[in-house]
Structure 1
């Protein structure tokens, strides 16, 4: 289940001046960050370019994300103190300009910005709600790879969605966790937080030891590439080598039991379980590699270089989240929930919706993975589950006819039942229309063609029709776009 966002109206602020007086820490970057092009900053005419757009124009989240550049890599160096919930960070954002850029925006909610530089030169900045507007000393040229360094600190925010779901930076009983769907990632680092702009990450977090001298664990996405115990603090450096949407970025700080292993294909597995959830999570360490292997046989090779899960103790959290490589659960999950979030590693994480209205491609396919798992484990067949949804007898079927899965009416309803249950029904109708051999070929090809990229509804329909050789327009018109409950036949 995915959280909702807090609606924000953003306005263009006046420039407030240049920030100074805080020296950012050095962050580890990938090789591309050392090959930035262009002349030395400070020589150019700022007016020569044009401002990047504030927002990418997503129908459901028009202010989210930014125009004028594509982020290549985030280097995030964070210092976090659990006792005071204080975060100090340096974000090194390497991006490629898509126009001559006189200024550009970064999404950032809360936190105090101390300094901003672009290509090593101090930049002018302004704040308005969740916008950080950056005016570099020199126009960034089209296609130029440029580096922005933002130093910031403060108490990170927790956002509350229209349905009451919480996202952003959430305190737990022994630390904190960061959950970003759809916009909560902007509460702990600045960036381009629309899913259409994916990037690689290095996330380095330093935390002090507790009053007894015991270290906190720090869990994030990707591979753990370095650990350092400095006596009074512990630092862990996680690296995400495959592109990731900002809403899938994750950090958890607390005390965890760590389970390490490998899948049958040799992918390293790193699972963190809160001791308070250990009894209910006894099977998780075995189930994660088993489900990944099962999903790989249906959907194609696992798309990432690491895997795992985080089982935290966060009472009241009403959803799990498919944070990339390491899905997050606020309590011990059952098998079905594990299947759903791990299926997202293919559908949602590797193949990410191009816009938020395409969310049914993630949630419908992940929900259908649940149906397949139940079918193959001796439960109901997918056809029987489809019938239970259609008749309204399945416990998850309530509200699935409220709107078409591909057309959520508002941002607050992007995670409503039609996107999940009716989305899965669309997938089942495709399977029924094209046959099992073609259907599973479509799923594997979808995962392969758009691996580590973005895709939309039109591309999925085109693939289904091209691989099957059938005109499926009536099927999609009725089940995906139709506003009335279709005939079951």
Structure 2
């Protein structure tokens, strides 16, 4: 190709349905136990099993996806735009903002939603939906407003949340436009609020501005945790049960991640981010 010209490269990739880095759950392993469910978890380099990519935070790109599903299955992605053709049963997604590969995520199953704010909704299996809405209704928009007052406009448009079965390997993941959270956290209102606020903070620190390498991942987690504390303090004041339990939440989050990923990799940057966490 001539210098400065555009080239379109098409790759055909076929992964086995039993790929260990794409979670295919039989209905018995879901919360409702009525339909199968599939989800991905890209962090840190798991999305290489999902699509061909440069799985380093330094490389960002926009993307689009088309997904055909059986009747009764809803697909969600960490994308800024989506549409659905009922005739063809095809979901269309596009992300207009460049993101690193680890922030591309998908979930498909029996999912329903309730709007809880002008730019946020809760998604979950039907058996979980009312509980999730009760715990979060009205709060997400409040937290977004506080965060925007502190750190500037929210880039991503939507701030939706989907609750996943206990097989989800970590507590929460800050996928742009669609935060993934493990459903078992609904048992603790304090942990739920802290972790949702933390993932919202990643909208500025980690997602919009991203560390260049995995060695600097502590910057993403450290600054997001600092922002989480600022948002929590502005929303609830200094002396509240929510702020007083943050060290416990950090430990809970660290333990869950350590079980899911290589301990050496995770332990290093979480130990580093705790320096920011405790001294800011």
**TM-score (normalizing by structure 2):** 0.78
Counterpart of 2:54 (choices 188, 192, 201) is 192
Higher helix share: 2
What is the total number of aligned residue pairs between the two structures? 250
- Is the CA contact 2:18–2:24 (under 8 Å) kept in the aligned structure 1? no
Counterpart of 1:423 (choices 273, 276, 280) is 276
Ranges in structure 1 where 5+ consecutive residues have no aligned partner: 1-37, 40-140, 159-167, 210-214, 399-408, 429-489
Partner in structure 2 of residue 249 of structure 1: 104
SS in 2 for 1:301: coil
User: Is the counterpart of residue 352 in structure 1 residue 210 in structure 2?
Assistant: yes
Per-residue CA deviations over 1:81-121 (Å, capped at 9, x if unaligned) read xxxxxxxxxxxxxxxxxxxxxxxxxxxxxxxxxxxxxxxxx
Partner in structure 2 of residue 413 of structure 1: 267
Per-residue CA deviations over 1:243-293 (Å, capped at 9, x if unaligned) read 111000011001112224654xxxx43432222322431233422222111
**TM-score (normalizing by structure 1):** 0.47
Partner in structure 1 of residue 136 of structure 2: 284
How far, CA to CA, are the matches of 1:308 and 1:316 in structure 2? 17
- Give the alignment's Cα RMSD to 1 decimal: 2.8
User: Is the counterpart of residue 339 in structure 1 residue 197 in structure 2?
Assistant: yes
Partner in structure 1 of residue 45 of structure 2: 183
Q: Structure 1 residues 303, 397: CA separation in 2 closer, same or farther (over 3 Å shift)?
A: closer
How far, CA to CA, are the matches of 2:74 and 2:70 in structure 1? 10
Structure 1 stretches of 4+ moved >6 Å: none
1:99-138 aligned within 5 A:
none
Q: Structure 1 residues 147, 206: CA separation in 2 closer, same or farther (over 3 Å shift)?
A: same
| Most deviating of 356-365 and 275-284 | 275-284
Ranges in structure 2 where 5+ consecutive residues have no aligned partner: 31-35, 187-191, 252-262
Higher strand share: 1
Per-residue CA deviations over 1:442-486 (Å, capped at 9, x if unaligned) read xxxxxxxxxxxxxxxxxxxxxxxxxxxxxxxxxxxxxxxxxxxxx
Larger radius of gyration: 1
Q: Structure 1 residues 288, 352: CA separation in 2 closer, same or farther (over 3 Å shift)?
A: same
Q: Structure 1 residues 356, 144: CA separation in 2 closer, same or farther (over 3 Å shift)?
A: farther
1:31-430 aligned within 5 A:
38=1, 144-153=5-14, 154-155=16-17, 157-158=19-20, 168-172=21-25, 173=30, 174-209=36-71, 215-230=72-87, 234-260=89-115, 263=118, 268-282=119-133, 283-315=135-167, 317-331=169-183, 332-333=185-186, 334-376=192-234, 377-380=236-239, 394-395=247-248, 410-416=264-270, 418-426=271-279, 428=280
Q: What displacement does 1:423 show?
A: 2.7
